Structure 1
Amino acid sequence: MNKTIITVQMLIKKPADVVYQAFINPEVTTNFWFTKSSGKLEKGKTINWQWEMYEASADVYVEQLTENQQIIIKWGDPQTTVEFNFNTLSANETYLVIKNYGFTQTGNELIQHVMDQTGGFTTVVDAAKAYLEFGINLNLVGDKFR
């Protein structure tokens, strides 16, 4: 396993509890990321997320939940760790930082995977900002690979 860490971040002008809930509650998350979920994120549970437009899905194991502060999941094949950190800057500002690590790939395969994951998580934080701040579903994830 190498030490590569993908990091994407975005200021979202909403309280940390709102941004945190947006990522654990599929009723919100389906407005900007995946289209279907088998349930709300709960520590120790495996949840299935679906992207119906791509006929794709991912099993997500919830390793850690720290309310309004952090979510840690494991997903993918090969499995990697994703950390969502919700940093309160003020009562109505949250700095969302997503880190993905634990890659087993090397060389060109690692480079391609890092590019794909970085682009994907960047799209997610952009879509989350638009939805949470303005109530707009830009369909960024759905339109990414058409």
Structure 2
Amino acid sequence: MAYEFTVGGRISRPVAEVFEAVVDPAQLSSYFTTGGAVGRLETGATVTWDFHDFPGAFPVRVVEVIPNQKIVLRWDASPDDDLAGNYETTVTMTFEALEDDRTLVRIHEAGWRDNEAGQKASYGNCEGWTGMLCAMRVWLEHGINLRDGFYK
């Protein structure tokens, strides 16, 4: 069984505002990528995300962007000892407008190998995406950066 997970939460802002907070590198850098994001999330682009807790910019390949609905990304999985070499996981973010002008965001990541390293990496990323959703909610609803100073 390959490892995968889905996390989700509701943000009290319209879907267009929540979606823009993910695709805009300046906004993403304000609450999530503690070392900064470079490049707007657009289909076919490769952008970079940098985190103080994992220094060094990560290339993020943008597979698909449907405005205010879906973002699909691919990025390198943590290295392991598998002879097959490096591989990628796929992140799918969906955005659903709710009746009360809130937005339901779901983040699904899949594709880790069925080994101990894949399990550990999937758990770590599940933690990271959950933190991203919490940080995005507090940023959009209250203008507070939860991650500021958290990792350094």
TM > 0.5 between the two? yes
Q: Determine the structure 1 residue equivalent to 2:80.
A: none
Q: Determine the structure 2 residue equivalent to 1:4.
A: 3
Q: Determine the structure 2 residue equivalent to 1:79.
A: 88
Q: Within 5 A, what are the aligned runs for 1:1-146?
A: 2-34=1-33, 35-52=35-52, 54-77=54-77, 78-90=87-99, 92-103=101-112, 105-139=113-147, 143=150
Higher helix share: 1
For 1:19, give the aligned amino acid.
V
For 2:88, give the aligned amino acid.
Q
For 1:41, give the aligned amino acid.
L
Q: Normalized against structure 2, the TM-score is what?
A: 0.85
Instruction: Provide structure 1 residue ranges, at least 5 long, that are not aligned to the other structure.
Output: none
CA distance in 1, matches of 2:129, 2:67: 21
* Misfit runs of 4+, over 3 Å: none
CA distance in 2, matches of 1:99, 1:127: 17
- Shift of the 127–91 alpha-carbon distance from structure 1 to 2, 3 Å rule, reads same
Q: Deviations over 1:31-69 (max 9, x none)?
A: 111132221111101111112464222101111000101
- Shift of the 54–113 alpha-carbon distance from structure 1 to 2, 3 Å rule, reads closer
**Helix, strand or coil at the partner of 1:31:** helix
CA distance in 1, matches of 2:119, 2:111: 14
**How far apart are residue 111 of structure 1 and its match?**
2.0
For 1:59, give the aligned amino acid.
P
How many residue pairs match? The answer is 142
Structure 1 residues 128-137 or 107-116, which shifts more? 107-116
Structure 1 residues 75-84 or 17-26, which shifts more? 75-84
For 1:84, give the aligned amino acid.
M
CA distance in 1, matches of 2:130, 2:55: 21
The root-mean-square deviation of aligned C-alpha atoms, in Å, is 1.8
Q: Normalized against structure 1, the TM-score is what?
A: 0.88
